[in-house]
Amino acid sequence: MTSQSPRDEERYRKQGFGNEIGIVGGIGLLIVDFVNGFADPNAFGGGNIPQAIERTRALLAAARTREWKIAHTRIVFADDGADANIFSLKVPTMLGLTETNPASAIVPELAPEPGEYVVRKTVPSAFAGTPLAAWFTSHGVQTVVVAGCVTSGCIRASVLDAMQYGFRPIVVSDCVGDRAIGPHEANLFDMAQKCGDVLDLDTFLSRLPNQTRSPS
């Protein structure tokens, strides 16, 4: 999964990190920022993001078949930049991701269907300042499966917040991507130690309980 050395992994294990939390209760799927701008290497993309989008098609199909609660996120700033913040101060080009800019639209192959929640956000976390935690909770979700981009930014922030809100995060390693592979691998390793479980898609699907739908 990562380029961490066996010595590093052993040190974490001896200190008690990296325990699996497993899949419990209702399952929800969170797809973070798989929008046109992050699929475009000339905008915000690059790295292994295209491959992660392709793998997420199968994950999304599995979630729909099982009737899980599904949420997608987009970064959407006001047309006049009135909601500019520290995130946009660090990355001013993010202010161009407005409601009608095609770069902020979810990629066609993962387009939401009726009943799937689209969260608009202006910071990395899908939970910060949004109703997402309450929405998942109201539908009985306890385990949040995470796909999207980028691994070192909005994925990490969302996984950390999911854990802090009391959800069990499962990061599907080949369904998340980053514009650079080094940060991608390092953050997968770190999230697996501290925040949630990190599984590839095939392993994750093999561990699913015999569940056809989530609580509503």
What are the catalytic residues? 154
Q: Which helix (H) or strand (E) holds 73?
A: strand 69-75
> Which tokens is 13 given?
């294990």
Angle between helices 156-164 and 181-194 (to 10 degrees): 10
Identify whether the C-beta of residue 128 lies closer than 8 Å to the C-beta of residue 13: no
Backbone angles phi, psi at 144, to 5 degrees: -110, 115
Beta pairing partners, 199: 172
Which residue type is seen at 36? N
- Kindly state the DSSP code that residue 107 receives in the 8-state scheme: P
